[in-house]
Amino acid sequence: MGEFIAVLIHGECHFHNVTYSLLWEPSPAEIHARACTCTFCTKHGGVWASHPPGILKITIYDPNAVSKYSFGTRTAEFHVCSKCGCVPLVSSTIEGRMYAVVNVNSFENQPSTLVRRAPVTHAGEDEATRLARRARNWIGNVEVVHGGT
């Protein structure tokens, strides 16, 4: 019997308007997730995972039903479904390239026992350090499709 060499993680908002597929190769023994302690993430259940070499395809069926919220340094956009309030992902454009992280609370096909949550804070981090961290640790191969096409 062969080992799994990759897993395709599916996630979505509760309304199924914002969906994603993340190709994670090789298949993870566990997924390290960062439970951000900022007030936005705490209040919205933001627990973020990424796999820098992964491939993320985001589908937004009704772009008019998605709000993008930014705060602090305004260098990240939280994609909020205005129909259900779920925040399935965050993106950041760095030097013309989109990077993203996904919310493990929006996973559809992964057992919760695979996820290892740990609190993290980025308070006091300057903008340059923050962008460098994202470019290093977030998913850098991101495609966004609107209208399900």
What is the tens place of the pLDDT at every residue in 46-92?
999 999 999 999 999 999 999 999 998 899 999 999 999 999 999 99
Coil/strand/helix, residue 143:
strand
Distance, in Å, from the CA atom of 50 to the CA atom of 22, rounded to the nearest integer, reads: 9
Residue 35, burial from CB neighbour count under 10 angstroms (0-12, 13-18, 19+): middle
Distance, in Å, from the CA atom of 11 to the CA atom of 58, rounded to the nearest integer, reads: 9
Ordered by start, the domain boundaries in the chain are 7-146
Distance, in Å, from the CA atom of 13 to the CA atom of 20, rounded to the nearest integer, reads: 9
- The secondary structure of 103-135 as a DSSP string is EGGGBSSS-GGGEEEEEE--TT--HHHHHHHHH
Query: Nearest Cα to 74, choosing from 96, 56, 93?
Result: 93
**Cβ–Cβ under 8 Å, residues 120 and 50:** no
The pLDDT score that the predictor gives to residue 44 is 92
**Cβ–Cβ under 8 Å, residues 82 and 67:** yes
Q: Name, of 26-30, 71-75, 129-133, the range with top average pLDDT.
A: 129-133
**Cβ–Cβ under 8 Å, residues 83 and 64:** no
The pLDDT score that the predictor gives to residue 1 is 44
What is the tens place of the pLDDT at every residue in 100-120?
999 999 999 888 889 999 999
| Fold held by 7-146 | 2.170.150
Mean pLDDT computed over every residue of the chain: 93
